[in-house]
Amino acid sequence: MRIRLLLSLLLLPVFAQAQELFTVKGRIVNEQGEPVEFVHIGIPKREIGTISTVDGRFEIEVPADTLEFHHVSYLIGLYPVSGSKDNVVIVLHENELPPAVAIGGKTKEKYLVRAGTNIAGGLADYYRPSTASIGQELGSIAKAGKPFLIKEIRFSVTYNYIPGCVASINIYRIEGKPESFENILHKPIYVNVAMSEKQQDFCIKPDEFILLEPGKYFISFQIVSTDEEAVRKYEETPEAERERYAMHLYTPLYFKSSYIRHEALGKMEHLPVNIGITVKGLEYQ
Residue 102: pLDDT band (50, 70, 90) is low
3-class SS at 149?
Answer: strand
Q: Looking at the predicted structure, is the pLDDT value of residue 84 above 80? A: yes
pLDDT at 225: 95
Phi (first) and psi of residue 240, to 5 degrees: -65, -20
pLDDT in tens, 227-252: 999 999 999 999 999 999 999 999 99
Q: Assign 18 a pLDDT band (cuts: 50, 70, 90).
A: low
* CB-based burial label for 108 (10 Å; 0-12, 13-18, 19+): exposed
pLDDT per residue over 247-273, tens digit each? Answer: 999 999 999 999 999 989 999 999 999
- Asked if the model's pLDDT at residue 99 lies above 70, the reply is no
Supply the mean pLDDT for the chain. Answer: 91
| Per-residue pLDDT tens digits for 28-59 | 999 999 999 999 999 999 888 999 999 999 99
pLDDT digits 0-9 by tens, 116-131 = 899 999 999 999 987 6
Q: Which helix (H) or strand (E) holds 192?
A: strand 189-193
Can you say whether the dihedral through the CA atoms of 235, 238, 239, 244 is positive or negative? negative
Angle (nearest 5°) at CA 171 between 167 and 172: 130
- 86-90, 103-107, 145-149: range with lowest mean pLDDT: 103-107
Q: Which residue has the higher pLDDT, 1 or 169?
A: 169
Residue 2 has pLDDT above 60, yes or no: no
Say what the pTM is: 0.89
Residue 5: which pLDDT band, with cuts at 50, 70 and 90?
very low
Share of the chain above pLDDT 90, in %: 81
Q: Answer whether residue 10 shows pLDDT above 80.
A: no
What are the structural domains, with CATH classification, of the chain?
22-91 (2.60.40.1120), 107-284 (2.60.120)
pLDDT band at residue 91 using 50, 70 and 90 as cut-offs: very high
- Which has more confidence, 15 or 110? 110
Distance, CA of 72 to CA of 174 (rounded, Å): 16
End-to-end CA distance of the chain: 47
Report the pLDDT value the prediction gives residue 15, as an integer from 0 to 100.
Answer: 43
